[in-house]
Structure 1
């Protein structure tokens, strides 16, 4: 049966309505939603939630719906880090949390890889890049500690129903161009408040052609657009990936009805060149041709937006049989132990090491200004999501952003380079 125009619902509206126990909701409404999953990590979770819960004398509403990932301060390198990690581990034991992932990767990658996300879910995360879950057709966004406390006690959260903006990508990405380039291009065009508190939905043939981990990059960096969520309607690719990771589920009506977006922006993937964001903001984005030749000291392949298996494979495609430039440091921090293990079996990690890469632990590392420290005054090109001053640790470093292809090509040349020329 065709949905009437008065009841037409965007994907965001359908997800919120389901969580609110309603048949429909309208943009601007404030509704209370039942939370299907609450995720937090060692930095955002126990050290803040533990004392607040104790002060209230409250208990967790449903431990089976809580996921703790210890990824920000590991491996612990100083007393403060050891204290933070110890608090997280001890609290997890005290609370008998069934889903704890300690030092096995970054939360935004680990959570779906362990089967915790499915289409139709309403989820929250104690991290600004929690919209990653939108790649799986789940409504997932980041919240602060006070809101997380309410979720921990009641299992519910209010939300204002957002309007939806469609980012429609036609065509297909050329070799050497990735989802990271798509995102940087959109951020450069619309800015970091371009979709404030709205739902961004990524659509079109170019999006449908992406593998799941590339879709995760799109949803993850919707945070840099200022959106609350970054959604992609689930399809055969989604359900196959979920089944492979222990989250098999039946397809549902998780797509937007016609005419529910307040704006649609159309892009041509065929003509997109690799993108580079200059210091000190992702909004400072242009095509790589505008930056070719800028010298670099450090190339960093890491973070939830740049070191998943697809990212590691991309870097290896550039670096295979080659060595990085003298004087350049290439650091690789795989996004999860799962992805690193596959990359090891495929020979991808050997390619990276043979090229001169230093392999760091599977953690947030330098993306969060911790681990794999960036030298003062260094010029860096990185696969991370943000390049704000001091974001990667050193306030005097200058950080460019690019895809794994671009970062790898730049490591080879010792200067920002177009990966398509290396791969030709």
Structure 2
């Protein structure tokens, strides 16, 4: 800690992190007439916004609700989410005449580019008189208020300090553990962090069994850690991905299985018994290929379900097919980790914060918002909605 500087820049609010949560917080505070500075060590703002949704930015979900979020305290997110809803952000998008569409399940994407959302946020910052500085790493020297920091251009003082630095996910975008490290240094409790919304990887024989299926996608109902999702699964050269696997990864822990129903809503045993009666000459492989991608049916027969005419398929064979497909139980070696994870699960324990304002209970004028907090959304726009809602909650009071 160092003392104050008489030549320090003075702001009502300083926000560290120019991502979705930080910029929304700045806009909300700036509209209230507060003097706001946003700083980020990266070379541009909103890097994760720009790469999200395949470059189209899944900016919210029309049906986002508390049940779409994971946290050690599942009730914490309710206050912020109820006060800034998907409809509120959609109204902002429409005000800026950004064309968008629903992909599925309430997931909203830009028609053109994620750049539209970044331009929206920067335009709103400019209108609210917010200063945004990139290439601006800061050191927090002393907590107040006023809080004292040092940036590339010298000392900065502010009454309210907001940590919106995100998590560890996608380090090539500039992600660091700044917010977590700072919270630990203050003695705040941190919920264990790990990569979430991330593909699974396999090793050895398990990988060899499925590697040749890379690129094949199919509808599944997948479960891990007591949560299940009806989504597509994608075979990859390293293991399994697609929305189903990304969703279940948030609930999975090393050493646990993932259960994947490859034929949801189909009574496979009854279906095969009926084919044995009605189409006795049909091969089991072709019977399965009518229900699954052919490459998957062929591989399953090579590995576990010897091909034969349906007339020769026994009840034991049918039971074996059911066990291998409904569900297929797999034990991943791990995940691809933070390198490709969309979010970091865990973070600053919500017990350390006010659910209404996001202010730290132990430190006046200090706020934590967005991904750095132990609130993690499902796939499909929910994490952006938490960024907008938590940023807005803090911005209303700082």
Q: TM-score, normalised by structure 2?
A: 0.23
| Greater RCO structure (CA 8 Å; 6+ sep) | 2
Q: TM-score, normalised by structure 1?
A: 0.22
Higher alpha-carbon Rg:
2
